[in-house]
Amino acid sequence: HGRYNSWEFFRGQEGDAWKGQVADPEIPDSPRATRNDLWRQDWVNRQYLDTEAKQPQTLTFDAGLEFLRTNRAEDDWFVQIETFDPHEPFFTQDHYKDLYPHDYEGPHFDWPDYNRVTETKEQE
């Protein structure tokens, strides 16, 4: 980041050690075999990302738009906007999931293992 005059970073994605919580978070049943520290930390972080406005992707693009509004009349600048998402875990707000109704009532899916497929046809 040293080559830029300024930069912003928004935390909380994936297993980012963003929020400290000693008690284990509530984690729904999942077929995910890899349940490491990133997995646990992700569920801690999700508690603080309960609205779209708090999502790191939203904050990233909002900051980019603010930069453009602030500097649009100026010359000799460069803005680079990078966002981690879409990226596993594929965590989003319920109102987006509600756009795609389904009958599936099995384990929670949003962070697939990268391995051979072991899920059933219904889980796919």
pLDDT tens column, 63-117 = 999 999 999 999 999 999 999 888 888 888 999 999 999 888 888 888 887 888 7
pLDDT at 43 over 70: yes
Counts for the chain of helices (H) and strands (E), in that order: 3, 0
How would residue 33 be classed by pLDDT, with cut points 50, 70 and 90? low
